[in-house]
Amino acid sequence: MMISLNDKQIQHLYWRTGFGISNHELKIVRKLSKDQIIDQIFIESTKASALSMDFGILEKHPKDLSVAERKQARQLRNKKMSELNILWFKQLTTTKEVLREKVTLFFHDHFAVRLRTPRACIHLNNVIRNHALENFGDMLMEVSKSPAMLIFLNNRQNRKNSPNENFAREVMELFTLGRDNQYTETDIKEAARAFTGWNFTQNGSYIFRKNHHDYGVKTVLGKTGNFTGEDIIKILLEQKQTARFICQKLYRYFVNDIINQNHIEILTNAFYDSNYNLKTVFNLMFKSDWFYDSKNIGTKIKSPIELMVGISKPFKVEYENPKVLLYLQRRLNQMLFFPPNVAGWPGGKAWIDNSTLMLRLKLASLTLNSGVIEWQDKIDIPENPMMSQQVYQKIKSKLQKKVKTEADWDIFLSNLESKNKIALTHLIIQPELSKAANRVVSNLDENDTKNFIIELMSLPEYQLC
């Protein structure tokens, strides 16, 4: 068992449990043992800071709205969805409760809901945050009963004698057991009957509508009874496959795209035996030696949000027009609160295509240096039809004009322990440099520290953590 962590391993832990680590923080936690660092990460996330905003007339009962107000409400909903997105992005970059936010981001993807109703969306987001480091079963129950989920998967239309199976199907396929695992079409049909009557009131609180509920006998996953929706959730949690499915997803998100069956079994047993305690499973994961295996370090493709927050955070970036955050998220295919569908973002290599990759590579220079990557060509490549740096800089792209920011370079630079090439490379880049990157870096001028950092953050390797 490892007692302490080296810098690379600490950075790894901070990238996976958050959005990287600043040199300043690194200096402090380097003195701690592995367990102390991890315990501290949990302690920092003890609190759960809910997102909150003023919804104006959207808080009113729709029946109390005038015709003009109703029209206004429609526009306001769209506006509030944008504000909500920016609000969360800001929380992600400034929070002290980093692990809790990261886990919230994971479950935002797991319980993917795509709606244009900001009150329902903020509520669901806060429910997830509250349970993020507590009990998965409680989270599942409260999420299932949230207006957002009831709307999105049509459980309000699910009534006795006219069932809607949407929620019953997805709760098994995507939220608990996983596709084609241990359940049948009959199980879905029977479970749908149990969820009849689940609804919410005008002010958004859950209500069980007895008249809509099917009180008959149902058989689900081999059990028979007059089940309610709560019973079905309980039955799903009794299946060890649920613990396994969640652990597989957690592993892909926090450890590696490629699953190691032994590790999954260890996590699954702990998760199941603790009655789905998320803190238990995370604690075990981060304290395991295999979490720090070199094959797990620097091998994950950052999600667009990880990339954007990772760039913004250490420089305390202020966006002149925060709406550009929405634009960038859209171009990079990860809009917070707008997952593509109930299955969430596909992730991994699916983040990457020609248009997203070129923008991702350009993002650090756009955010931190007005789109400029200084480059003095020292390598003689006679056949290369490269544009000279000067010519290139004259072509201000539309994007450069759009992304206007203020980045605090002073604080970033003053916190650096070393401005040496190797030290900076290790601080900024998680994976080993490829041969190409190595050759490029060896020719870079480290004396212009700011520019050298921009260059490092423009390498393909920076896309990995």
Partner 1 sequence: MERRDFLKQSVFASGMTLIPSFLKGMEFLSPDQLSGYKNVIIIQLSGGNDGLNTIIPISNDIYHSARPQIAKKINQTLKITDDLAFNNNLKAIKNLYDLGEVSIINNVGYPNPNRSHFRSTDIWQTASDTNQYLSTGWVGRYLDANCQLPYQAIEVDNSLSLALKGNKMNGIAVSDPNQLYRTTREPFFNTIVANTQKEMLDEDNQGYLYKTMLETYSSASYIHKTSKIYTTNTEYPQTSFAKNLKTIANFIVSGLKTRVFYSSLGGFDSHVNQLNSQDRLLKIYAEGIGALVEDLKKNDRFNDTLILTFSEFGRRVKQNGSRGTDHGAANNVIAIGGSLKKAGVYNELPNLHDLDNNGDIKYTIDFRSIYATILNNWLDVDNQSILNKDFKKLQFV
Q: How far is the CB of 4 from partner 1 (least distance, A)?
A: 28
First to last CA, the chain: 24
Q: Closest distance between partner 1 and the C-beta of residue 97, in Å? A: 29
Q: Which is nearer to partner 1, 406 or 432 (CB)?
A: 432
Which residue, chain included where needed, has tokens 């970059």?
A: 93
Take residue 190 and report the two structure tokens written for it. 């029977």
Phi, psi angles (nearest 5°) of residue 107? -80, -20
Question: How far apart are the C-alpha atoms of 92 and 309, rounded to whole Å?
Answer: 7
| C-beta of residue 376 within 8 angstroms of C-beta of residue 389 | yes
Handedness of CA 116, 122, 128, 132 (dihedral sign): positive
Nearer to partner 1, 343 or 416 (CB): 343
User: Can you say how many angstroms the Cα of residue 81 is from the centroid of all Cα atoms in its chain?
Assistant: 18
Closest to 25 (Cα-Cα) out of 432, 417, 372, 405: 417
Q: How far is it, in rounded angstroms, from Cα 132 to Cα 276?
A: 11
Nearer to partner 1, 114 or 234 (CB): 114
* Contact assessment for residue 220 and residue 191, using Cβ atoms and an 8 Å cutoff: yes
Alpha-carbon distance of 187 to 209, in angstroms, equals: 23
Nearer to partner 1, 74 or 79 (CB): 74
CB of 375 to partner 1, least distance (A): 4
| 226/215 Cα distance (integer angstroms) | 6
Residue with tokens 């049509």: 154
Residue closer to partner 1, measured from CB, 23 or 458? 458
d(CA 290, CA 263): 8
Q: Which residues bind partner 1 (CB under 8 A)?
A: 114, 169, 257, 298-301, 331, 333, 340-343, 346, 348-350, 352-358, 361-362, 373, 375, 377, 379, 381, 383-389, 392, 395, 397, 431, 434-437, 439-440, 455, 458-461, 463-464
81: left (phi over 0), alpha (psi -120 to 50) or beta: alpha
CB of 377 to partner 1, least distance (A): 6
Tokens linked to 139: 């989270």
Minimum CB separation from partner 1 for residue 246, in Å? 18
Q: CB atoms < 10 A from the CB of 266, how many?
A: 17
E strands present in 45-204: 198-200
> Least distance (Å) from partner 1 to the CB of residue 420?
21
Least spacing, CB of residue 431 vs partner 1, in Å: 6
Min dist CB 363 to partner 1, Å, is 12
For partner 1, the closer of residues 29 and 464 by Cβ is 464
What b/e string do you get for 50-73 counting C-beta neighbours within 10 Å, with b at 16 or more? ebeeebeebeeeeeeeeeeeeeeb
Decide whether 225 or 392 has the Cβ nearer to partner 1. 392
Q: Which CA distances in Å does 63 have to 149, 176, 453?
A: 23, 38, 56
Q: Which is nearer to partner 1, 276 or 338 (CB)?
A: 338
Minimum gap (Å) between residue 301 Cβ and partner 1: 5
Q: How far is the CB of 169 from partner 1 (least distance, A)?
A: 7
- Strand-pair category, 206-208 with 198-200: antiparallel
Beta carbon nearer to partner 1, 33 or 78 = 78
Residue 94 or 392: the one with the smaller Cβ distance to partner 1 is 392
Eight-state DSSP code of residue 408? -
Nearer to partner 1, 377 or 448 (CB): 377
A 10 A CB-CB count for 33 gives: 12
Shortest reach from residue 150's CB to partner 1, in Å: 16
